[in-house]
Amino acid sequence: MMQLFEDEPTQDLAPGALLLRGFALARAQALLDAIEAVRAQAPLRQMVTPGGLAMKVAMSNCGSLGWVSDRRGYRYQASDPLSGAAWPAMPALFAALAGEAAARAGFPGFVTDAAPLSGSLAW
Q: Name the burial class of residue 68, with classes exposed (0-12), middle (13-18) and buried (19+) by CB atoms within 10 angstroms of its CB.
A: buried
d(CA 47, CA 70): 6
pTM for the whole thing? 0.81
**Which tens digit of pLDDT belongs to each residue from 68-85?**
999 999 999 999 988 999
- Please, what sign has the CA dihedral across residues 17, 23, 27, 29? positive
4 lies in a domain? no
Give how many domains the chain has, as a whole number: 1
**Which tens digit of pLDDT belongs to each residue from 40-78?**
999 999 999 999 999 999 999 999 999 999 999 999 999
In sequence order, the β-bridge partners of residue 32 are none
5 lies in a domain? no
Q: What CATH number corresponds to the domain at position 21?
A: 2.60.120.590
Residue 32's domain comprises 11-118
d(CA 48, CA 37): 24
